[in-house]
Amino acid sequence: MTNTNSGILKSYFDEVINQKRLDLIPKYFSEKFVYHGTPYVGMGVMPDISSGNMVIVQKILPGGPAAGKLIEGDEILRVVDDGHTWDTFEELRNGSLWGQGVIGTPLTVRVRRGNAEKEIPIVRGLVQGFEFPYELQESGMREFFKDWPVVKGRLLHVIEADELVAFHGEYQGHNVRYDRSAVWSEFGFVRFKDGKITDWWNSDEEVSTLRQLGYSIREPELVKA
């Protein structure tokens, strides 16, 4: 089975996910690999929070709302809209919290750029989703394993057709930042060429995972007409 694409995917779960063998990433992923992010409403900014105390702009989606306004390396100090201010590391580290909202609504982002601080207006928009290249695969997984040092994944169902594999997977792990355990499902498509992964699309149960970590999901206030 390991010579089939679905067998290769199963071996990836066993070796890279379950054994944390990041050194085997070149074995499974093509250097032309692309992870295709899902679309969302926001700014099109990918933050780097690896320092543990600063939110740095790591990547900006070309054509997104922040393109031409923020630059890679900016330190985000504060974000303000009509209803809220985010200005601590814990508030800013999750960019989706201040990026989400109504398409066309404005934000003011204060950044440190070099030795100066700047306030930059940005309007929320539809973001088609980041595409993460092969070069970011190891660093992204390393950050994931920092929060989830104890995690196991398994494939429950796979359907293989030519170069594509559709899969239903399940993960179970313990998050050290929140000291809670969680189990969640993942559904996706993986494309192979010459025995290596070239493309990955997926969707997982993020809301369920956040609830298990202790987040409170509450109904937002309704906008009065």
- The residue behind tokens 């196991």 is 152
| pLDDT given at position 129 | 78
Mean pLDDT of 38-53: 88
In this predicted structure, the answer to whether residue 221 has a pLDDT above a threshold of 70 is no
Name the more confident of 33 and 218.
Answer: 33
Last residue in a domain, options 78, 94, 127: 127
Residues of the chain above pLDDT 90, percent: 68
Last residue in a domain, options 127, 142, 176: 127
**Domain harbouring 175, CATH code:** 3.10.450.50
Name the more confident of 206 and 30.
Answer: 30
d(CA 197, CA 193): 7
**46 and 123: one domain?**
yes
**12 and 72: one domain?**
no
| Cα distances (angstroms) measured from residue 14 to each of 25, 37, 143, 171, 174 | 12, 24, 19, 12, 18
Mean pLDDT of 181-185: 96
Q: Does residue 224 form part of some domain?
A: no
Q: Does residue 98 form part of some domain?
A: yes
**208 and 148: one domain?**
yes
Name the more confident of 110 and 58.
Answer: 110
**18 and 85: one domain?**
no
**48 and 100: one domain?**
yes
Q: Is the dihedral of CA 15, 18, 23, 29 positive or negative?
A: positive
| pLDDT given at position 220 | 66
| pLDDT given at position 156 | 97
d(CA 207, CA 185): 11
Q: Does residue 217 form part of some domain?
A: no
**Domain harbouring 104, CATH code:** 2.30.42.10
In this predicted structure, the answer to whether residue 3 has a pLDDT above a threshold of 90 is no
**168 and 57: one domain?**
no
- The residue behind tokens 């679309």 is 39
**30 and 136: one domain?**
yes
**52 and 122: one domain?**
yes
Report the number of distinct structural domains present in the chain: 2
Read off the pLDDT band of 224 (50, 70, 90): low
| Cα distances (angstroms) measured from residue 27 to each of 2, 8, 149, 169, 180 | 13, 10, 22, 21, 32
Range of the domain at 51: 40-127
- Phi first, then psi, for residue 124 (nearest 5°) are -60, 145
**120 and 145: one domain?**
no
Last residue in a domain, options 79, 112, 127: 127
**30 and 46: one domain?**
no
pLDDT, tens digit, for every residue of 121-170? 999 998 887 888 999 899 889 989 999 999 999 999 999 999 999 999 99
Read off the pLDDT band of 46 (50, 70, 90): confident
d(CA 136, CA 12): 17
- The mean-pLDDT minimum among 16-25, 41-50, 186-195 falls in 41-50
pLDDT, tens digit, for every residue of 78-120? 999 988 899 999 889 877 778 888 899 999 999 999 999 999 9
d(CA 36, CA 175): 25
**33 and 44: one domain?**
no
pTM over 0.85: no
Mean pLDDT of 61-82: 93
**118 and 137: one domain?**
no
| pLDDT given at position 59 | 86
Q: Does residue 223 form part of some domain?
A: no
Q: Does residue 225 form part of some domain?
A: no
Read off the pLDDT band of 189 (50, 70, 90): very high
In this predicted structure, the answer to whether residue 222 has a pLDDT above a threshold of 70 is no
